[in-house]
């Protein structure tokens, strides 16, 4: 007979398993989305241009006066193509690390910083604010910054190996004592 949670009516084992993997869909969504965004930018010759329709330069010039931090846009406009490449590679690396669960908290912090910078520049003037997706991405990264990827990740594998190694060292020291 399985124990049942009094409030939800769900078997406690199922509830525990669901809680354990609750961040996995978010991690997969953010990882895939950032990989896609990075690859999309790197393969779009129009985006990787200083001027012209769809270029990073024209987009940044278009949002400069409505952004929360115009100085940030001005910095990007000094080398718009270089900025676009750094942004795209950053998105790609954050997405890949998040999918693999490698240095997940650091990757999530990078994703949050990318989303924050885009919110303060590109989507700052979007009204009402909930039409702009960059703020939502910023908030979506925060659970992964806080919790990391404790399951189905390279981080979890490394932690298990470290724990296994330290417990075997402890056993050896107890035997030799």
Q: Three-class SS of residue 11?
A: strand
pLDDT at 125: 93
| Confidence at residue 105, expressed as pLDDT on a 0 to 100 scale | 98
Region for 54 from its dihedrals, namely left if φ exceeds 0, alpha if ψ lies in -120 to 50, beta otherwise: left
Under DSSP, the state recorded for 52 is S
Q: Percent of the chain, pLDDT > 70?
A: 86
Question: Looking at residue 164, what is its pLDDT?
Answer: 80
CA distance 115 to 119: 6
Whole-number Cα distances in Å, 74 to 77, 93, 172: 5, 25, 60
At residue 172, the pLDDT reads 47
pLDDT number for residue 129? 87
Regions in the chain scoring below 50 on pLDDT: 1, 170, 172-177
């Amino acid at each position: 007979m399985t124990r049942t949670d009094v409030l939800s009516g769900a078997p406690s084992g199922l509830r525990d398993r669901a809680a354990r993997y609750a961040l996995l869909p978010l991690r997969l969504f953010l990882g895939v989305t950032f990989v896609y965004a990075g690859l999309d930018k790197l393969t779009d010759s129009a985006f990787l241009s200083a001027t012209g329709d769809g270029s990073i330069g024209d987009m940044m010039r278009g949002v400069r006066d409505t952004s929360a931090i115009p100085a940030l846009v001005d910095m990007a406009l000094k080398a718009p193509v270089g900025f676009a490449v750094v942004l795209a590679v950053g998105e790609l690396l954050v997405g890949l690390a998040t999918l693999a669960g490698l240095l997940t908290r650091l990757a999530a912090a990078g994703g949050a910083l990318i989303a924050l910078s885009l919110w303060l520049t590109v989507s700052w003037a979007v009204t009402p604010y909930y039409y702009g997706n960059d703020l939502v991405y910023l908030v979506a990264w925060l659970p992964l910054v806080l919790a990391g990827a404790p399951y189905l990740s390279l981080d979890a594998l490394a932690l298990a190996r470290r724990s296994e190694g330290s417990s075997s060292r402890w056993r050896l020291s107890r035997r030799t004592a």
